Amino acid sequence: MIELLGWVPFFPLLGFLMLALAGRRLPKPPVAWVGVGSVAVSMLLTALIGGQFLSGTRQPYRLVLGNWIEVGDLSVPIGFYLDALSLTMMFVVTGVGLLIHLYAAGFMKDDAGYARFFAYMNLFVSAMLVLVLADNLVLLYLGWEGVGLGSYLLIGFWYEDPNNGYAARKAFVMTRIGDTSLLLGLLLLFIELHTFDIQALMFRAASLWAPGTALPVAVAALLLGGAVGKSAQLPLQSWLPDAMAGPTPVSALIHAATMVTAGVYLIARTHDLFAMAPPVQWIVAVIGALTLLMAGCSALAQTDIKRILAYSTISQIGYMFMALGVGAWSSAIFHLLTHAFFKALLFLAAGAVIFCFHHEHNIFRMGGLHRAMPLAFASFLIGSAALSALPFTSGFYSKHEILSAAYEVSPGLWAAGCLGAVITGLYSFRLVFLVFFGVQPQDVDNRLDWRMSVPLVLLGVLTLFGGMLRIPLDSVFPGLLNPDRNLSLVSVATIAAPFLGLLIAVLLYFKGGFSTLPLAGFGLINRMRMFFFSGWGIDTLYQALAVRPFYFIAKANKNDALDSLYTLVALLGREGHLLARRSQTGHIRWYTSSIALGTVVVIAIGWLS
Amino acid sequence: MSEISIEQGLLLSAALFVLGLIGVLARRNLIMILMAMEVMFNAAGLAFIVAGSRWGQADGQIMFLLILTLAAAEVGVGLGLVLQIFRRFHTLDADSLNGMRG
């Protein structure tokens, strides 16, 4: 079974090719069969491969399909590498991806670009599978860029609206900054260590480089740059909220199964390098802590249901980065797994709400839905509970592990994480109370397609119990820590933090109680709200720091200084032509005399020499 | 019958050639230019004849026959063109026929 590994990314690619070539001529049912079916086959293969892998010795397995690039001493094979880490990622990508595809088959049923949509989705999944399975950094980079392309196509899927195109370009350009950093990192690795193979790289790095010296620090910093761009962490996070321009299943796919988890995966995959560069690892943790706080505060002020979820994703990825930063690699991947479940659930439920509210996004114009849409309500309740890490949900176990690991390293990080947990509880239940309680403003169309309700139910179950699906990662990561399971004060505080947020949300948003309206009267608070709403003014900052100067340079250099070199060449040509033209007088006798004179000169030269 | 030396023959040929060239350069009437060109052709032909008789070989005379044919063909085409030019422009002045300048 395990030899079939190469087929896992191939089937979605095949689906993409079929839909891209023939999709426009197919009616919708076969399009859905191809689009969902290709991912389903991959999921099935993953399950079979995973079964064999887990029941066996769990030795890493490598499959080389052929040579991709072979120049001099550079050799890049098309090779896949299976270990517990890539298997976990495969399960996330194909499993959650399959449910999202199934949901999308119902959600997009009235869209004219049905085939185009599934073609892009399959391409996206295929690229992500290549990314997680690649055994060398070049193939990983191929998947990395493929994911970037897929996200660009999907965010700008409704391209008739220029704003969507803008959001897509923004996502592409901002992640491209990180991609460039990653490319530099892997080229530096190749120059120094003469291979692209990840396992060989880790081995050579450990044997050739001393921990904490300049080289591992530089390489780790460059790789971190790539991870930060793809995973939407500070300071490259502002593309993710705008990426909500795409259809809701796309948001679910980007946030849960693919794309943003790529950065976390990259750091986990190259964790040996990061462990050798303590300053960079510390920066990873600090970036995670700052991002989770920043994104949490921004989520508090949003009114768009999808933007709240987008900021919550940034915040949760922040937790994963914090875990990576403190060396709790396997906790980070565990949180990635549980996050994939509950974030997909939340997005799909939000999609159902938006769908039934006739594409309304503002949570203040929703309300009272708990009677009309019990399934969406239950999904949101479970999802929010897991998101804010209430006990006995899967999110609780993963986040608790991260926070106790953070406490071992630095109480400051732990405190930031706990504060983040309070904020998480507040904003997730603010969302739940505003959307599902209170007065229902309008009639809703509450009939959900079975293709939309089945994924919701399955993801709900996974969100509650998905923590048990954890694949032990001891074979991949060094056992750095033994989580403190004692019911200490720290542990109690960690558990209590989300409840504090929930309590505040109940007081503020559940059936009145306190009202936030008087607070908005204070200038300072209002200004803070605007500040959070804009995502901490990052966009304005970039506008001033990068976009405006670029426009200025473009305007100042409208005539293109470099281009004048080529204008000069053209000018010389034209002047030469004018000069030569003078000799073309049209007088036959002038030509004859020139011929005669030329002959005399040639003969004279021949004579004299 | 006294022999004509090759130097004398070639001198005559060169003189004829230069005269023809001067004619081509100095004349403005197209017909006169054509006539001057005939002189140049014949000068070249004379040089062949002289050289052929110097070495006692028939090649010089064969070349002269070729030049004669060539000159006849050239006159045929040339006069035809002159006729066309005169019909279209009502002049044979080579200097005023300068429409094809750069």
Record: contact A584-B101, CB cut-off 8 A: yes
**B13-31 tens-digit pLDDT:** 999 999 999 999 888 899 9
Interface size, chain A vs chain B, as Cβ–Cβ contacts under 8 Å? 33
B32 Cβ under 8 Å from any chain A Cβ:
no
What gap in Å lies between CA A403 and CA A399, rounded to an integer? Answer: 6
The tens digit of pLDDT for each residue in A379-396 reads 888 888 888 888 888 888
**Is B2 at the interface with chain A, CB within 8 A?**
no
Among B21, B25, B98, beta carbon nearest to A586: B98
Interface contact A580-B102, CB threshold 8 A: yes
Q: Is the pLDDT of residue B84 over 90?
A: yes
Q: Is A578 on the interface with B (CB under 8 A)?
A: no
Which residues in A lie closer than 8 A to residue B25 (C-beta atoms)?
A: 589, 592-593, 596
A555 close to B (CB below 8 A): no
- Rounded to whole angstroms, the maximal C-alpha distance in chain B is 57
Q: In this structure, are residues A336 and A343 in contact, taking their beta carbons and an 8 Å threshold?
A: no
Which pLDDT score, from 0 to 100, does residue B1 have? 44
In contact, A296 and A309? CB cutoff 8 Å: no
d(CA A303, CA B81): 90
Alpha helices in A92-161 (DSSP H): 97-107, 114-133, 137-155
Please identify which residue in the block is written with the tokens 């997909």.
A344
Q: Is the ipTM of this complex over 0.90?
A: no
Q: For Cα atoms A505, A447, A438, give the angle at the middle one, nearest 5 degrees.
A: 25
Candidates B18, B28, B97, B98: best to mutate against A (most CBs of A within 10 A) is B98
Q: Is A589 within 8 Å of B100 when comparing Cβ atoms?
A: no
Distance from the Cα of residue A432 to its chain's centroid: 25
- Which residues in chain B are contacts of A584 at CB distance < 8 A? 100-102
Token pair, residue A359, equals: 């594409």
Residue A589 sits at the chain B interface (C-beta within 8 Å): yes
> Taking 80 as the threshold, does the pLDDT of residue A207 lie above it?
yes
In angstroms, the separation between the Cα of residue B75 and the nearest Cα of chain A is 17
Closest residue on chain A to B95 (Cα): A587
Check B102 against A589: CB less than 8 A apart.
no
Q: Is the pLDDT of residue A603 over 90?
A: yes
**Cβ distance A413 to A322 under 8 Å?**
yes
Shortest alpha-carbon distance between residue B42 and chain A (Å)? 18
Contact A589 B99 (CB under 8 A): no
Q: Do B102 and A583 touch (CB under 8 A)?
A: yes
- Per the rule left: phi > 0, alpha: psi between -120 and 50, beta: everything else, A206 is alpha
| Closest Cα in chain A, distance from residue B73 (Å) | 21
Question: A371 to each of A357, A365, A451, how far by Cα in Å?
Answer: 14, 17, 21
The predicted pLDDT at position A600 comes to 92
* Residue A32: closest CA among A452, A494, A463, A495: A452
Instruction: Tell me the CB-side half-sphere exposure of residue A289, using CA atoms within 13 A.
Output: 21
Please give, one letter per residue, the 3-state secondary structure of A186-252. HHHHHHHHCCCEHHHHHHHHHHHCCCCCHHHHHHHHHHHHHHHHHCCCCCCCCHHHHHHHCCHHHHH
CATH T-level fold of B13-91: Helix Hairpins (1.10.287)
Instruction: Band the pLDDT of A479: cuts 50, 70, 90.
Output: low
Angstrom distances, CA of residue A370 to CA of A265, A434, B100? 37, 11, 91
Query: What is the reported pLDDT for A7?
Result: 84
Burial code (b: 16+ CB inside 10 Å, e: under 16) for A394-412 equals: bbbbbbbbbbbbbbbbbee
Spell out which residues of chain B touch residue A587, defining contact as CB-CB under 8 Å.
94-95, 98, 101
Would you call B92 an interface residue with chain A, using a CB distance cutoff of 8 Å?
no
Smallest Cβ distance to B102: which of A584, A588, A593? A584
Confidence of residue A607 (pLDDT cuts 50, 70, 90): very high
Mean pLDDT of chain A: 83
Of A127-131, A235-239, A283-287, give the lowest mean pLDDT range: A235-239
Q: Which of B28, B33, B101 sits opposite A586 (nearest CB)?
A: B101
Residues of chain A with pLDDT > 70: what percent?
A: 94
